[in-house]
Amino acid sequence: MIVDAIGVITKEKVNLLGSGRTDSGVHALGQIANFRSEAELDTYKFKYSLNSILPDDISILKIEKVAESFHSRFDAKRRSYFYLFSYNKSPFYRKYSYHYFPITKLDFSKLNKISKVLSGDHNFTSFSKKNTEVEDKICNISEIRWHKGKELSVVYITSNRFLHGMVRTIVGTILHAAQNNLEENYLIDILEKQDREAAKESVPAKGLFLFKVRY
């Protein structure tokens, strides 16, 4: 849709390059994309023209000119996601959070403690979908942090890269560990097995947001 909207304004067929793909049903607050154009564009007017054409579930927040060598995917240094849990059935949160009341009974200090073992460089084969085409499964997680609020809980995760389905599988597996009073060695063992069957069920896509891409 964005490519079509750009074409309407510039009269060009552009190749739009995103910073990364997300699972179906995942949201994005901070997706980055770039394209090349022969047209002379006023970025301020271009932004508002695009938003006037795009559907209501897509919004362009900022447009700026970058070096011709810039690549939104390959130049990214860090990507951050967050996942939302809601405690109660809500018409406002139902499309954007996982209604999961049991999380209110979990010890968040324990969630944060066991999550730390996933920090650093690891092979995340066990946490990625089997059909992923990526051969290199080494990722560097710099942060996993859980926070409990009054109506929502959130987990933040930042890494240099993510594999297909990785965030949702990590979150689901950590929840399983906390609910069953399992320690850090449980997650270490899953990493070492390098087998998706070793990890637990992924949480639903609707609670996951691509939050920020850093360059």
Domain locations in the chain?
2-53, 78-214
CB 32 within 8 A of CB 77: no
CA distance 180 to 110: 12
3-class SS letters over the chain: CHHHHHHHHHCCCCCCEECCCCCCCCEECCCCEECCCCCCCCHHHHHHHHHHHCCCCCCCCCCCCCCCCCCCCCCCCEEEEEEEEECCCCCCCCCCCEECHHHHHCCHHHHHHHHHHHCEEEECHHHCCCCCCCCCCEEEEEEEEEEECCCEEEEEEEECCCCCCHHHHHHHHHHHHHHCCCCHHHHHHHHHHCCHHHCCCCCCHHHEEEEEEEC
Tell which residue, 213, 125, 134, 207, has the closest CA to residue 172. Answer: 207
Domain spanning 78-214: CATH 3.30.70.660: yes
At 156-200, the pLDDT tens digits run 999 999 999 999 999 999 999 999 999 999 999 999 999 999 999
What is residue 130's predicted lDDT score, i.e. its pLDDT? 81
Task: Look at residue 174 in the predicted model and tell me its pLDDT.
Answer: 97
Burial group, residue 154, by CB count within 10 angstroms (0-12, 13-18, 19+): middle
pLDDT value for 59:
96
**pTM, two decimal places:** 0.92
User: What mean pLDDT comes out for the span 57-67?
Assistant: 95
pLDDT of 24 reads 86
**Active site residue: 23, 42, 56, 195, which one?**
23
Task: Give 97-118 pLDDT, tens digit per residue.
Answer: 999 999 999 999 999 999 999 9
Token digits for 207?
Answer: 């609670």
Average pLDDT, the chain: 95
Residue 141 has pLDDT above 80, yes or no: yes
Separation of alpha carbons 156 and 154, rounded Å: 7
What values do phi and psi take at 46, rounded to 5?
A: -65, -40
pLDDT, one tens digit per residue, over 7-54 is 999 999 999 999 988 888 999 999 999 999 998 999 999 999 999 999
State both tokens at 201: 């069920």
Q: Can 107 be counted among the known catalytic residues? A: no
Tokens, residue 194: 């390098």
